[in-house]
Structure 1
């Protein structure tokens, strides 16, 4: 038995066509060369933090500088990217 009356998803009725803000997609233009929302910028910040930590463990920590310096740099850079990116 198939139902001939297909009802659309409930979330389709929440936003009008072209109204991205109602769906939570607040894309904006910053210094990054792509359109991003806050989660994209957060993901980019986490990837940079991991890459910086690996670089720091391999090259900088043997010199004697603590990983906490790398974490502070990554936190500041991540906040900047999320805010302005």
Structure 2
């Protein structure tokens, strides 16, 4: 059975739930970046770095 750990998310999650939320946040951030930020000249790699950092924090402490 998966271990449930308390964190800053308002729902009870395990590591896979937090991974799934992190992937969904990465997709949403990428779509936002393509539409708004990339036409301004900012590379998608910046978005990927932000999504990676947020995903790691989310999985570890979420």
What is the TM-score with the length of structure 2 in the denominator? Answer: 0.98
In structure 2, what is the equivalent of residue 81 of structure 1? 58
Q: Which has the higher contact order (CA 8 A, sep 6+)?
A: 2
Question: Which has the larger share of helix?
Answer: 2
In the comparison of the two structures, how many residue pairs are matched?
62
Counterparts in 2 of 1:14-33, with a 5 A limit? Answer: 23=1, 25-33=2-10
Question: What is the RMSD of the two structures over their aligned residues, measured on CA atoms?
Answer: 0.4
Runs of 4+ with >2 A deviation: none
Say which one has the larger Rg. 1
The answer for unaligned runs of 5 or more in structure 2 is none
